[in-house]
Amino acid sequence: MADEGARGITRRQLGAGTLALGGALAFAALPADPASAAAPARGGGPALRHGSARRAGLLSAPLRQLVTDAEAFLAPSPEHPWYAGAVLLAGRGGTVALHRPIGMAVRYRAYDEETDSGVEFPPDQQIPMAEDTVFDLASVSKLFTSILAVQQIERGRLELEATVASYLPDFGRAGKQDMTLRHLLTHTSGFRAWIPLYDAPTYEEKVRLVLDEAPTGPPGTVYRYSDLNLISLQLVLEQVTGRPLDVLLREEITGPLGMRSTRYNPPASWKPRIAATEDARRPWSGLDRGLVWGEVHDENAHSLGGVAGHAGVFSDAWDLAVLGRTLLNGGAYGRARILARESVELMFTDFNTAFPGDGHGLGFELHQHWYMGAMATPRTAGHTGFTGTSLVLDPTTDSFLVVLGNSVHPVRGWRSGSAPRVAAANQLARAVPVRPARGRTAWFSGMASAATATLTLPALDTSPGGARLRCPLWWDTEPRADVLALEASTDGGAGWQPVPFTTVRRDAGPETHPSGTVTGWSGRVWHELTAALPAARGLILRWRYTTDRLYVGRGAYVGTLRVEGPGGRLFDETRPADAARLRARGWTRSAD
């Protein structure tokens, strides 16, 4: 897409058409008149290059651990390997600090159902992973379709709140007359997750199945992830542009960005570079195809000729990093601009506030700890693919993570959950340093799951009253599941009571915490804490950080602790004698 064609979906336009609707955002149709466009934005923003962790502003030890953790999933985890191999890429700003292949791109020629084992190729026919190994992205393909749609919204050919039937009249039957493009992009259409299009004998009949499909409820009333949303969006894009989706991809995204390893239907000459997927046979697959290698794995995408809105794009880690860097740059990369900055902001804005836990921008999932791990924030955007792929972008820290694994090789049943994605995201999040608010170090809670960490002050005499605790505080935890609590004991630690406190950040007013706890997102900035303490002759204070067994956030940091009474300081961590009396279990000193 040329610079001259780009225009943003401006905040002024959004503000004029924004309505509150069930706690979610709803936008009126945006102006389609090109004359109303703002001046075109130019390209710019850093292009990618390999460099050290230091150059990227990252800590090297967590990046090394990221690789170690990923390699552990090449072994039984717990019964079978999660993937035969993977390519890992992580960076910050314009620097790729980690780009590492592990394991095998092609290992198995078949799956033995009777023994639940993989039948390996001879060693000389197996292919190890390489930095430029190409993967079937599966549902990560949805991001490309979404970007193409937002481009057309910028150009005035599509309107976010327009009904799909206004572009495809036949789509309006079966209760879909009110379904909008926003419903498709945010998975709030009410469609079922998928239907077996591959059972229909012709392309026309497959399309008719989509057009005839009825939603399970009124659009906008439920969040349900569905391939049909992006297949429908493909039909809209092809109708309004007069170009097939693969041509749009090449002309509007991969060509301008120089993504030479990204396309639908890779040619046969690419096969040695492509990671194999599944020995596709019934009953676990919808089609009997044998080893799928070099062709799209998804059955519906395969039946649609390999080009589909929900799946079918092949790419490598570097190209996906280029896409991620483009979006973190605000839609530009080098001299190319594929989206206006305002449009990228919109793609990273949660439209699904009416569906807590299912945060979704336009095409992008938001704040999903189940695969973003500790990188998850309300603005962290990404997507996964069924074949074992994922892309995570964190605008807060300007960091990006690509994990590409062939996790359905040799069969989909060997893989469950997203543990490798979470482990990698946790380590990249840990690699972003948190500098102490004051001094050289701060106390760090750690990021262990199913853990309790306590940081305990010695008994203090607060009986005259008026004592107050002061310290800098930083936290980012899995909301509600992981909690940091300030507690006090007046009986030597036999019982503990919450201590309410107030926090203040530089760019906001005071926030009270009457329960004595914090959880979730705090902006990843330091807060100044003040707490009025109970009057007692032997008051013990402690910080207690507890996590559940599933996912964690970036953790908690506590800066220099001071307790002040009417007669002076009762405790000051800067005094060596006082610091020596602190008791830490699970907390460590950190100089990030």
Give 128-182 pLDDT, tens digit per residue: 999 999 999 999 999 999 999 999 999 999 999 999 999 999 999 999 999 999 9
Q: What is the pLDDT along the chain (592 residues), one digit of tens a residue?
A: 333 333 344 322 333 333 323 333 333 333 333 222 333 345 667 789 999 999 999 999 999 999 999 999 999 988 999 999 999 999 999 999 999 999 999 999 999 999 999 999 999 999 999 999 999 999 999 999 999 999 999 999 999 999 999 999 999 999 999 999 999 999 999 999 999 999 999 999 999 999 999 999 999 999 999 999 999 999 999 999 999 999 999 999 999 999 999 999 999 999 999 999 999 999 999 999 999 999 999 999 999 999 999 999 999 999 999 999 999 999 999 999 999 999 999 999 999 999 999 999 999 999 999 999 999 999 999 999 999 999 999 999 999 999 999 999 999 999 989 999 999 999 999 999 999 999 999 999 999 999 999 999 999 999 999 999 999 999 999 999 999 999 999 999 999 999 999 999 988 899 999 999 999 999 999 999 999 999 999 999 999 999 999 999 999 999 999 999 999 999 999 999 999 999 999 999 999 9
Paired tokens of 382 = 């990404």
Q: Are strands 95-106 and 49-50 parallel, antiparallel or unpaired?
A: parallel
Q: How many CB atoms lie within 10 A of CB 256?
A: 21
- The DSSP secondary structure of 37-92, one letter per residue, reads PPPPPP--SPPPEE--HHHHT--HHHHHHHHHHHHHTTS-SSSS-S-SEEEEEEEE
Residue 355 neighbours by CB under 8 Å, 6+ apart: 24, 188, 222, 223
User: Residue 232 is inside which H or E element, if any?
Assistant: helix 227-241
Indicate if the alpha-carbon torsion angle 128, 134, 136, 140 is positive or negative.
positive
Cα atoms in the Cβ-side hemisphere of radius 13 Å centred on 287: 18
SS3 542: strand
103 forms beta bridges with 85
pLDDT at 453: 98
Residue with tokens 């959004």: 14
pLDDT at 47: 87
Identity at 36, one-letter amino acid code: S
DSSP 93: T
DSSP 23: T
Give 282-328 pLDDT, tens digit per residue: 999 999 999 999 999 999 999 999 999 999 999 999 999 999 999 99
pLDDT at 42: 56
d(Cα 345, Cα 362) in Å, to the nearest integer? 10
585 forms beta bridges with 454
- The DSSP secondary structure of 353-368, one letter per residue, reads TTSTT--B-SS-EES-
User: Residue 139 is inside which H or E element, if any?
Assistant: none
User: Residue 148 is inside which H or E element, if any?
Assistant: helix 141-154
Paired tokens of 144 = 């490309």
